[in-house]
């Protein structure tokens, strides 16, 4: 289910306690032609991680916010990543898909994302919907 010759650049925001499921989702998306940015895969030793994350968010085409019960439970840099993504989204046309809420399990949506339609990848066909959305994004980027 390859996306296109011009893969969309996707940045993952997630709770580190969801690392295992996010890595499986990441690997599947890479196999399907998505150019992903995941901290544990892309950050190199010695890099200024906050600078690199900010840079990746500003350069990406879409933000994949991986939601779970753990996402809102604790503090973490993911909340700063989400704030930065929301600021970038506020500068884009309202009809442009930039932030895609992806529920990994049944959970409450954060208030800041409630107006956005979500995809539940734990439901049958959820991953296919996510890839269809990314394919549409790749087409609109041409």
CATH number 3.40.50.10140 is the correct assignment for the domain at 9-140: yes
**pLDDT band per the 50, 70, 90 thresholds, residue 7:** confident
N- to C-terminal Cα distance for the chain? 19
At residue 6, the pLDDT reads 63
At residue 61, the pLDDT reads 94
pTM listed for this prediction = 0.91
User: Any residues with CB less than 8 A from the CB of 72 and at least 6 apart, and which?
Assistant: 108, 110
Least confident of 23-27, 70-74, 83-87: 70-74
Domain boundaries, the chain: 9-140
Give the separation between CA 67 and CA 103, rounded to whole angstroms.
5
Q: Are 3 and 33 within 8 A, CB to CB?
A: yes
For 33-46, write each residue's pLDDT tens digit: 999 999 999 999 99
The residue whose two tokens read 């930065």 is 84
């Amino acid at each position: 289910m390859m996306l296109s010759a011009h893969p969309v650049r996707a940045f993952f925001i997630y709770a580190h306690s969801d690392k295992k499921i996010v890595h499986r989702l990441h690997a599947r998306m890479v196999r399907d032609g998505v150019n992903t940015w995941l901290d544990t895969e892309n950050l190199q030793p010695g890099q200024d991680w906050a600078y690199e994350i900010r840079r990746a968010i500003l350069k990406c085409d879409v933000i994949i916010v991986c939601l779970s019960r753990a996402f809102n439970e604790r503090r973490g840099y993911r909340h700063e990543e989400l704030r930065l993504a929301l600021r970038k989204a506020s500068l884009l046309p309202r009809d442009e898909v930039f932030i895609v809420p992806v529920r990994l399990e049944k959970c409450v949506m954060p208030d800041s994302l409630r107006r956005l339609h979500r995809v539940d990848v734990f439901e049958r066909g959820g991953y296919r919907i996510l890839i269809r959305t990314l394919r549409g994004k790749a087409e609109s980027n041409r």
